[in-house]
Amino acid sequence: MAPSDDDDDLKRAIAMSLAEASSPIANVAKLASDDEDEEMRHAIALSLQDSNADPGTLEATVSHPPEYAFAEASQQNKRTQCRTENASSTSASSKPSGLFGLDRKAMEEERLARLGKRKRSASPERPSKLITKTPGVSNADEKSRTSCNGPNLKYPKGTVKRTWAFKHPRTDDIKIEEVLQASTVNIAVLSAFQWEDNWLFDKMTPEITKQIWIMSAKGEDVQSKMRREAVACGIPNFKQHFPPMNGQIMNMHSKLMLLFHKDYLRIVIPTANMIAVDWGETNKDPRTGESWQPAVMENTVFLIDLPRRPDGKPAEEAETAFGKELVYFLTSQELGRNVLEGLLKHNFSETKHLRFVHSIGGNHSGKDPNRHRTGLPGLALGIHELGLDQVKTLEIDYAASSLGALKEPFLKQIYLAACGISPLSEDKAPADFLDRFRIYFPTKETVVNSTGGARCGGIITLARAHYDSPGFPKQCMRDYVSTRKGVLSHNKLLLARGRKNDGKPFAWAYIGSANISESAWGAPKILKNGKESLNIRNWECGVIVPVPDEALEKVKLADDEVPPMSVFEGTVEVPFQYPGEKYEGREPWFSKG
């Protein structure tokens, strides 16, 4: 977005908000984590204690839960600062604060007045009647989005893209603007763990697009406060939704976009949150309005465009397992009927080669007839239904940005699920399965020497106590080094390659929000009474994308060989160097200890 004179006003409003807010360090204990609660709280606290930034130089400080910021363009002091704020912080000021603590209403009115835009009082139930042109989008671009003969579906069978990274050469990547297609999207249902509202509203203004944000907030008090703040902002066409967070459910961590256009639906499953840094952007120099620092973080995105059903009426159910599991997941999140009906007005037939997988927060006991549809059992079911089971040999390369208290039994359950076998099955994983399981996680050296430096490692979490505990599978660890120099990763990618019992090679990728932890996937157990139990602490979602047979047929393999990592070319751009260096005396990046 081109720099404008509203940047200074925005910075002043932010600086005032920061000055008036209560200490974020005092509130940090209230925050939920990106995956492991205690670890993340500690990382946030360290980041806050280490930061001495002048609030007046920071760009957007809007978050719930924690986020990053990057500032100080001085060539003599090129250090990146990562900081966080608590959405439930209270202001000492008597004037109303807007969404996440900012006086959003006043700021937005001033911005719209400067841009010559006219606010409307149109009903939020009829977003298609709003303006369908976004400032900064040319007529040629507008025409390229649609066709008089029907929807112009750019990704009718689905694709996987790497997120764009500022000041790095473009590959098969994608920008947030190219994902959102803001010029023609009428309704956007967005799910994420972290948010920057001003950044997102600049990309897709609520005056034009009705937005429903699926957010993480545990406790009715926190949810009520966030709702009040949103109402105080007076944002048109905007609604928050909080999935059930009762009991041991700690985080709504899933990343998902449902982008409703006139003639088609775009489904997006990213590993990224709704914050600028996750999409390859960096802060602007407050003096020049220009970015100076290359991107510091990267992610991966799955997209598919589905045409509207000819009769325009919702089907009784989706045609494919992908669609059925998506509807089941959103129903479990208690999303409104209108969104679900909107989904079913689209044709899911081109998703038959894919599988939507999820983790539904809560306890799934033996009495739950759907307990096999979610978490690790759901992953196993998806692999089985795609015909990727009956495995003789399997190699797993899993890149994650957060690791829990890993133990061999849990990795064995992931391995079995990736073979299409129930994690509680009596089938045994091969004795050397840990040698076939590589976990890509950065070393301390890699984080410190990255473009953003150690201050940008706060979201990459592993506790020293976990790593040093007996049984942690250190032999599986590999250094995550991006193929883009200096970029850190927020990816959650499971890449599987193998041979079936009949000798046929196969490969598939999981792209989603689930890190390697029991919180994300659940750890199925057999209770003393003989019943199954599956407890999941996070809401997560992702997609299984098989490598096409034609790509596998091009690979020449010996009898006992599995396809090489290069087999993913054309399906997933592998963003890290492989097979990855073993730690060999080095230690991982620790968020605690």
The upper half-sphere exposure of residue 150, i.e. CA atoms within 13 Å in the direction of its Cβ, equals 9
3-state secondary structure of 233: helix
Q: Which two tokens stand for residue 106?
A: 């006043």
42 close to 35: Cβ distance less than 8 angstroms: no
The answer to whether the peptide bond before residue 65 is cis (omega within 30 degrees of 0) is yes
3-state secondary structure of 492: coil
Q: How far is CA 184 from CA 119, 151, 472, 504, in A?
A: 18, 11, 49, 44
Rounded Cα distance between 525 and 518, Å, is: 12
Beta-sheet pairing, 300-307 with 159-163? antiparallel
Sequence letter at residue 482: S
254 close to 540: Cβ distance less than 8 angstroms: yes
3-state secondary structure of 587: coil
Rounded Cα distance between 163 and 229, Å, is: 31
Q: How far is CA 76 from CA 22, 70, 72, 73, 301, in A?
A: 32, 15, 10, 9, 36
DSSP 459: T
Rg (CA), the chain: 23
Annotated binding site, which residues?
255, 492
Rounded Cα distance between 173 and 448, Å, is: 26
Rounded Cα distance between 229 and 215, Å, is: 14
Q: Which of 64, 241, 358, 490 is catalytic?
A: 490
DSSP 147: E
Is 384 one of the catalytic residues? Answer: no
Kindly report the three-state secondary structure assignment for every residue of 290-326. CECCCCCEECEEEEEEEEECCCCCCCCCCCCHHHHHH
CA-closest candidate to residue 36, choices 456, 515, 533, 534: 515
Annotated binding site for substrate, which residues?
255, 492
DSSP 346: B
Is 253 one of the catalytic residues? Answer: yes
CA-closest candidate to residue 374, choices 269, 521, 257: 521
Q: Which two tokens stand for residue 225?
A: 């406060």
| Cross-strand bridge partners of residue 588 | 443
Rounded Cα distance between 536 and 359, Å, is: 7
3-state secondary structure of 461: strand
Q: Which of 42, 241, 253, 261 is catalytic?
A: 253
CA-closest candidate to residue 496, choices 554, 559, 552: 552
Rounded Cα distance between 14 and 55, Å, is: 8
* CA angle centred on 578, ends 564 and 458, rounded to 5°: 140
100 close to 216: Cβ distance less than 8 angstroms: no
Catalytic sites, residue numbers: 253, 490
